[in-house]
Amino acid sequence: MSTKVMHHRPLNFWERIYVPEVARGLWVTSRHFARNLFIHTAHRLGLLKHLQAAVTIQYPEEVRPYAERLRTRHRLTQREDGSPRCVACMMCETVCPAKCIYIVAEEDPDPNIEKRPKSFDIDLGVCVYCGYCVEVCPEDAIRMDTKIMNIASYSREGMWYNMDRLLHPEKEGDVLLKPKT
């Protein structure tokens, strides 16, 4: 595969002395400010409704609606008795391109089910949110539909999601960032 070398245009004299570019930037910002102020004022008066103005969303107190198919924090689905639907087939662990799923299987006491996970961990600090684990699962046992986005943590350990966290996403306080439905 050949490498494409990008050559940047050299700065001209006016760009090198910066002041005209700073003034140009200020002009662009001021123009947007004046336009938004004018249109929002007109909207308040019931005018120019066909024109859109910029809106500031007060994140995280306010969250814009998420798309239905948005991939958010993982969860493990449960059977009616509360046990995980996962049968520890290891397909998600195998397909995961980031290699961040760790499953330990054990025999299931139910003779109709071969295996169950003894432990099921995902390192979300490494996950790339591709959704392959969800797509490959034959049991619909893992989903990325919690609509939970604030998975940041001050430690690497905080990004480690064990089976309890995956089975009970509602236990954690991060539902705050769910959009209003």
Using rule CB under 6 A, residue 128 touches ligand SF4: yes
DSSP per residue over 56-118, as a string? Answer: ---TTTS-PPPPTT---S-EE-B-TTS-BS-----HHHHH-TT--EEEEEEE-SSTT--EEEE
- Could you tell me which stretch among 21-29, 43-51, 59-67, 99-107 binds ligand SF4 (CB under 6 A)? 99-107
Using rule CB under 6 A, residue 151 touches ligand SF4: no
- For the chain, counts of helices (H) and of strands (E): 5, 5
Using rule CB under 6 A, residue 98 touches ligand SF4: yes
Among 72, 133, 146, 163, binds ligand SF4 (CB under 6 A): 133
Angle in degrees, CA 29, 12, 22, rounded to 5:
20
Using rule CB under 6 A, residue 163 touches ligand SF4: no
Among 96, 163, 166, 167, binds ligand SF4 (CB under 6 A): 96
Give the closest residue to 77 by CA, choosing from 174, 169, 160.
Answer: 169
Rounded Cα distance between 104 and 117, Å, is 6
C-alpha count within 13 angstroms, C-beta hemisphere, residue 125: 8
- Could you tell me which stretch among 39-47, 60-68, 128-136, 172-180 binds ligand SF4 (CB under 6 A)? 128-136
- Could you tell me which stretch among 15-23, 37-45, 138-146, 147-155 binds ligand SF4 (CB under 6 A)? 138-146
Go through 151-164 and write b for each residue having 16 or more CB atoms within 10 A of its CB, e for each that does not. Answer: beeeeeeebbbebe
Task: State the minimum distance, in angstroms, from the CB of residue 143 to ligand SF4.
Answer: 10
Number of shown-chain residues binding ligand SF4 (CB under 6 A)? 26
Task: State the minimum distance, in angstroms, from the CB of residue 175 to ligand SF4.
Answer: 21
Contacts with ligand SF4 by CB under 6 A lie at 86-92, 96-98, 100-101, 103, 122, 127-133, 136-137, 139, 141-142
